């Protein structure tokens, strides 16, 4: 029996002038909130921060899933944990010199741990510690900016993550970040994606009324996948 799909709206794509109201709408609909933390070095953009996580944690009724697009993730782990992060997810490319220490540190602070893979990074890169992860995020666009085209080669990486999970009894969630929308829902679902990060094309641009946009997204998803 297939799992119920899970959805994670990207707070970077919200109307930040109306974020409290929008989060109140999504609290009863979504499964996570995706929070992009960027430092201007690992990627050229700069978006949200630990202070932002602290500010929205009083409104959020869902786990705040913090995606660390930063060169030195260790600088952000404790501040994010104290701010109210539910998941802390650094990029594999930034932690492989001390991945085990970083994973255990995140867990010791009471957070769940995920790892994010850039499109050009093979899943084999995290093979030695994949069993410790609560979530794997597969980037289906190059990181740093919203609105990029879907990289279809990532479907194979999603299938590999699913195969390893099923073969070994791992419990990590398989999440996709980038261009999750009506053009990709079917292929992503069939490949094995379980958590879909929703940005402008997948949710926020569907309707000015966010509740209506959510209903449209769910209808599109059902039409594409039967779920």
- Residue 110, judged by CB atoms within 10 A of its CB (0-12, 13-18, 19+), counts as exposed
**Per the annotation, does 65 bind a ligand?**
no
Convert 27-43 to b/e letters by CB count within 10 Å (16 or more is b): eeebbbbbbbbbbeebb
Which residue among 31, 36, 65, 189 is the active-site one? Answer: 36
Give the orientation angle of helix 210-225 with respect to helix 19-26, to 10 degrees. Answer: 40
Residue 74: closest CA among 109, 45, 48, 47: 109
Decide if 189 is catalytic.
no
Alpha helices in 58-183 (DSSP H): 74-83, 92-95, 99-108, 154-168
Kindly give, in sequence order, each residue whose CB lies less than 8 Å from that of residue 121, ignoring residues fewer than 6 positions away: 92, 93
**Per the annotation, does 75 bind a ligand?**
no
**Per the annotation, does 178 bind a ligand?**
yes
**Per the annotation, does 34 bind a ligand?**
yes
**Per the annotation, does 67 bind a ligand?**
yes
**Beta strands per DSSP E along 26-151:** 33-38, 64-69, 87-90, 112-117, 135-139
**Per the annotation, does 97 bind a ligand?**
no
- Three-class DSSP category at 187: helix
**Per the annotation, does 99 bind a ligand?**
no
Which residue among 39, 134, 177, 189 is the active-site one? Answer: 177
**Per the annotation, does 36 bind a ligand?**
yes
Decide if 74 is catalytic.
no
List the binding residues for substrate: 67, 144-147, 177-179, 199-201
List the binding residues: 34, 36, 67, 144-147, 177-179, 199-201
List the binding residues for a divalent metal cation: 34, 36, 67, 177
Instruction: Name the residues annotated as catalytic.
Output: 36, 177
């Amino acid at each position: 029996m297939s799992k119920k799909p899970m959805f994670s709206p990207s707070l970077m794509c919200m109307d930040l002038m109306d974020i409290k109201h929008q989060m109140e709408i999504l609290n009863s609909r979504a499964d996570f909130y995706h929070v992009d933390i960027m430092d201007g070095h690992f990627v050229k953009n700069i978006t949200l921060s630990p202070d932002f996580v602290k500010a929205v944690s009083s409104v959020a009724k869902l786990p705040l899933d913090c995606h660390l697009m930063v060169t030195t993730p260790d600088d952000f782990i404790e501040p994010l944990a104290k701010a109210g992060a539910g998941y802390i997810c650094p990029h594999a490319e930034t932690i492989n010199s001390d991945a085990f220490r970083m994973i255990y540190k995140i867990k010791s602070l009471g957070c769940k741990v995920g790892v994010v893979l850039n499109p050009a990074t093979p899943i084999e890169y995290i093979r030695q510690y994949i069993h410790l992860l609560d979530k794997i995020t597969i980037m289906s666009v190059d990181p740093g900016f919203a609105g990029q085209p879907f990289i279809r080669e990532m479907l194979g990486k999603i299938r590999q993550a699913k195969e390893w999970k099923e073969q070994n009894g791992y419990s990590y969630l398989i999440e996709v970040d980038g261009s999750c929308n009506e053009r990709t829902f079917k292929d992503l679902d069939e490949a094995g994606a379980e958590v879909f990060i929703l940005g402008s094309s997948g949710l926020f641009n569907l309707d000015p009324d966010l509740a209506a946009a959510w209903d449209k997204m769910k209808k599109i998803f059902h039409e594409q996948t039967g779920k």
